[in-house]
Amino acid sequence: MNYKGYILYELDHQKINDKILEKQNLSIDRLKSVEELSAKELKAYLKVIGLTQAMIDQKLNHLDNLIAQFTKHVIYINVEKADFVYYEIATYDEFLPYTEYYHMAELLKLRYFISARKNEYITSSVKKLKKLKPHFSSSEEILFEYFLGMVEMMQSNFINANERFENLARTYTTFIGFEAEFYYHLSLIKTNLEEQSRAIYYGKKALEYASAQYNFKRILLIQMGLAVNFSNAHIYEDAAECYDHVLRNAEMLDQKDMIPYIYHNMADLHYKTQNYSVALAYFKIAQQHFSQNDMYYVNCLFNIGLTEIELKKHGDALNTFEELYQIAKEKRLENFQLYSSYYLMSLSGPEQEAMDYLENEVLPFTKSLPEEKYMEDLFSQLLVRYYRKLKKFDKAFQFISDYKYTH
């Protein structure tokens, strides 16, 4: 506890000058010059600012408990309780900078802002922590680097985040209780970089730590990530097993918000294994759970339409893509307006007209946006098949080259 600093702050805040202090044989110059206050002097200065040692100790004990609670709620993804503790800690904002808890409190605030998606506070929090960084302990430096990596993830800067996380993983073996979520987020980075084997490796590592903590919400998220990566790596049996665990655990933990995403991912798994009837059933369940204001509702509609085409349910697919087009138009979603327009043309008009539209309108759009890479690959494959059917192999090869070699 930096008593001198805190007392000086309170003297200034309460507008207590030397004239008032002289009555107690005290002075601001004496307070600034002495290296350490005697017990008697400390008691006298505290009395002037309206405090006692017992009151200071009570504040420190309360802060110690709040920091422990804040850490626990952040790690166990209990955002509501973390929210309550955050505001409790905020009542100590004037006292906190003079205590040993200051750095950890500010680090946990940043992690809380990330978890609660309070994006408007993140930039100023990072700026403050960068100023404090020269005074961090080694464990505080580790957490700050980790949280900076999370900020980069939120900004979709996965290459920089990967470098930061990899460096931490190589250098340190402990993350002060944050091991499960650290390896979970590293797994997410690897997923976004399409490094499935590494994503699975770190996901399994995260699961070990989360299981040891009985951190059930984190376990649920990790299992979901593992299922996605098993599916992407074509390890379909393991993916299906993971989804079974995820769905059961989500229902047991009453994580209703996750249910539609789980069904959607399960549908996607069955679509990949060409089990289209089951895929359609799961997509429909997901659709019922999604709010129409959710972007995933639009994505779900698109996947329902694709699955209906595979099942030769062209009338249903036509209705689905018509609904998708109207929603995309209303929400001004250029990508889904283009995609649904192509499928409407393909289902109801001349094939050549639809494929010309796909090649000249849709594909250039997907190529211009890195986030539309999956759709670019999908439409390139459609064009390859179309030109092969016409025996225009040079033209087909152009899209094979685009699809296979340019990413």
Residue 209 placed within a domain:
no
372 and 340 share one domain: no
300 and 259 share one domain: yes
337 and 407 share one domain: no
262 and 329 share one domain: yes
Residue 46 domain boundaries: 3-51
Q: What is the pLDDT of residue 35?
A: 84
Q: What is the pLDDT of residue 84?
A: 97
Residue 109 placed within a domain:
no
One-letter amino acid at 81 equals K
**Continuous segment of H or E residues that includes residue 265:** helix 259-272
What is the CATH number for 311? Answer: 1.25.40.10
Within the chain, which residues score under 70 in pLDDT? 401-407
Are 39 and 15 spatial neighbours (Cβ–Cβ below 8 Å)?
A: no
> What does the block give as tokens for 348?
């109801």
Q: What is the pLDDT of residue 7?
A: 95
Q: What is the pLDDT of residue 129?
A: 98
Q: Torsions phi, psi of 176, nearest 5?
A: 55, 45
Give the number of domains in the chain.
Answer: 3
Q: CA 148 to CA 169: how far, in whole Å?
A: 14
Q: What is the pLDDT of residue 349?
A: 86
Q: What is the pLDDT of residue 52?
A: 95
224-241 tens-digit pLDDT: 999 999 999 999 999 999
> What does the block give as tokens for 226?
């593992």
Q: What is the pLDDT of residue 403?
A: 41
pTM attached to this predicted model: 0.86
Placement of tokens 């004037």 in the chain: 94
